[in-house]
Chains A and B, each alone.
Chain A
Amino acid sequence: EDQVTQSPEALRLQEGESSSLNCSYTVSGLRGLFWYRQDPGKGPEFLFTLYSAGEEKEKERLKATLTKKESFLHITAPKPEDSATYLCAVQAWQDYKLSFGAGTTVTVRA
């Protein structure tokens, strides 16, 4: 069974204080690893898909990286508007299910 573990559970940052979120996964053949952002009371918003170890993707202050066992979401010089819960999910080859982690809630103080 696919497993996804995200850490830390919560992260409090000062504006401008860069940090990283971790997503460790176990899957029988990774087809894709997905990052989402979720604001309170709203649905998850798609950020990135990573397909193979060594791949990196960036969007504004966010950068996602992938190894064979984990993914990191780096937040560079965060702003208060980056406050959200960040979700990680994996999909195995020839499987349509996304297995989600419980998320990391990031709070950025001005």
Chain B
Amino acid sequence: ETGVTQTPRHLVMGMTNKKSLKCEQHLGHNAMYWYKQSAKKPLELMFVYSLEERVENNSVPSRFSPECPNSSHLFLHLHTLQPEDSALYLCASSQGLTGANTEAFFGQGTRLTVV
């Protein structure tokens, strides 16, 4: 496998459910990201991890909980979401955070619908 892989591709969950999104990167990168993409809005950075340590929590509600067990895997745990959380959730990775080679490579995303 190559690139950045996200599962599931689609997810429908009720407001009282708990679910997790999974991301795996096969690029040997050291940084991983979660972005949220809502219709007609720019991508919003949610979380950043560098070498498995969180370096950014961009004022994200606590109902979103990230986990980075190693430099290849990233999870986003979801609980008691609201309908306005429905969006495309994108995982990305980059070689580093600053300096050269910071281009982010994205997964295909998880289309989340909260009902």
Contacts and interface: CB of A to CB of B under 8 A. Distances in A.
Interface residues of A, number: 26
A87 B55 contact: no
Q: Top 8 A-B pairs ranked by shortest CB distance?
A: A43-B106, A96-B97, A100-B42, A100-B43, A44-B106, A43-B109, A43-B108, A102-B42
Given A32-B102, A45-B106, A96 B42 contact: no
Contacts of A99: 42
A95 interface: yes
Contacts of B45: 97-98
Interface in A91-110: 91, 93-103
A99 B41 CA distance: 12
B43 A46 contact: no
Interface of A: 4, 31-32, 34, 36, 41-46, 49, 87, 89, 91, 93-103
Nearest to A93: B98
Contacts, number: 58
Nearest to A49: B103
A41 B45 CA distance: 18
A95 B98 contact: yes
25 contacts: A4-B42, A32-B102, A34-B103, A41-B109, A41-B111, A43-B4, A43-B106, A43-B108, A43-B109, A44-B43, A44-B90, A45-B106, A46-B103, A46-B104, A46-B105, A46-B106, A49-B103, A91-B102, A93-B98, A94-B98, A95-B98, A96-B50, A97-B45, A97-B56, A101-B42
Contacts of A43: 4, 6, 90, 92, 106-109
Nearest to B3: A43
Contacts of A42: 108-109
A99 B43 CA distance: 8
A102 B106 CA distance: 17
Contacts of B97: 96
B81 interface: no
Interface string B62-94: 000000000000000000000000001010100
